[in-house]
């Protein structure tokens, strides 16, 4: 990590990141009180965290079930390296794919999928099958779902 990023990740920087993960809409005045800086100083600090890429964006957390995609599954894909570009493109193009991870081990990719029903999952698996062997696991329930970074503070 370069010195600029390291300086931004001091105690105050980590407190700012923790607070923004809890509530990205927190006013700078309240955030400043929480971390011991003025609102303008916090605004400048957040701007620098964005500029160096530590803060990549702000997002609404939407419930996939309420949006009509209650079925979550993971597809492992064992494939040859010559298919990597095609697999990555297909994963990027399909709205059902929430995440595509290039992984170590027997499988080359782990795809997280969100669909309305199992028949839709079958269609997604079918799109990846020409590139290699797939193994699919359907999520029965999710007991922990941490999307934020832990232990920043």
Query: How far is it, in rounded angstroms, from Cα 35 to Cα 64?
Result: 33
In a domain, 56, yes or no: no
In a domain, 75, yes or no: yes
* Residue 11: CATH number of its domain: 1.10.10
Mean pLDDT (the chain) is: 93
Q: What is the pLDDT of residue 152?
A: 54
Please tell me the total count of domains within the chain. 2
Please state the pTM of the whole predicted model: 0.81
In a domain, 147, yes or no: no
Give the tens place of pLDDT for each residue, 36-75: 999 999 999 999 999 999 999 998 888 999 999 999 999 9
In a domain, 130, yes or no: yes
Q: In which domain, by residue range, is 80 found?
A: 71-138
pLDDT at 150 over 70: no
Domain check: are 81 and 125 in the same one?
yes
Domain check: are 92 and 127 in the same one?
yes
* Residue 132: CATH number of its domain: 3.30.70.920
């Amino acid at each position: 990590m370069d010195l600029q990023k390291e300086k931004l990740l001091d105690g105050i920087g980590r407190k700012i990141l923790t607070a923004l993960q809890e509530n990205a809409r927190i006013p700078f005045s309240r955030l400043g009180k929480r971390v011991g800086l003025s609102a303008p100083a916090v605004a400048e600090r957040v701007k620098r965290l964005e500029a160096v890429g530590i803060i990549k964006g702000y997002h609404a957390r939407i419930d996939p079930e309420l949006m009509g995609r209650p079925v979550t599954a993971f597809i492992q894909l064992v494939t040859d390296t010559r298919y990597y570009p095609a697999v990555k493109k297909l994963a990027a193009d399909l709205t059902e794919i929430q995440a595509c991870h290039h992984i170590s081990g027997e499988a080359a990719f782990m795809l997280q999928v969100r669909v309305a029903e199992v028949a839709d999952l079958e269609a997604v698996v079918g799109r990846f099958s020409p590139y290699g062997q797939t193994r699919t696991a359907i999520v029965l329930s999710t007991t922990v779902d941490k999307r934020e970074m832990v232990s920043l503070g």
